[in-house]
Amino acid sequence: MLFAIMLLAAPVWGQNRDFGLGIILGEPTGLSAKLWVSSVNAVDFGMAWSFRYRGFLHLHADYLWHFPDAIESRERFVPYVGIGGRLGAGDTRGVFGVRFPGGIVWWPRGAPIDVFLEIAPILDLAPATEFGVTGGIGARFYFH
């Protein structure tokens, strides 16, 4: 229900991009969504399947800060960092952890898409404290 409310409110919050939906390929692989809350901040969501842990569903949500003036280029390459959480459920265990994503996104001029490369160190807190890393490449289509 909260997700539906956020979708309906997206045109009010986003400035030049509203809500994007696409895929991420890597570890894990699945669906990726991004909701802009200001011109430099967004919340991203993922629902994916882990190939490292068979039978493992990975869910995450991150708050992101983008730095649009960090790279001078004719193209729009924008680095970002964030913090978020993840939940995982599998055949043998469930996990809860904190994510620290960082990456770069390419916004092609005049196209309602983005292409991104991301790496996210993870500190799992339950059922045991463990460190790991996820990452991938993905693309999203934006709805205005």
Hey, how many other C-beta atoms are within 10 angstroms of the C-beta on 2?
A: 6
Lowest-confidence pick of 8-17, 74-83, 92-101: 8-17
Asked if pLDDT for residue 101 goes beyond 80, the answer is yes
CATH of domain 2-143: 2.40.160.20
Question: What is the value of pTM for the model shown?
Answer: 0.84
pLDDT (tens digit per residue) in 120-137: 999 999 988 999 999 999
Higher pLDDT, 67 or 75: 67
Dihedral sign from CA coordinates of 112, 134, 131, 104:
negative
Dihedral sign from CA coordinates of 39, 41, 46, 50:
positive
pLDDT (tens digit per residue) in 2-57: 344 444 444 443 345 699 999 999 999 999 999 999 999 999 999 999 877 666 89
CA distance 61 to 69: 25
CA distance 58 to 74: 36
CA distance 79 to 118: 10
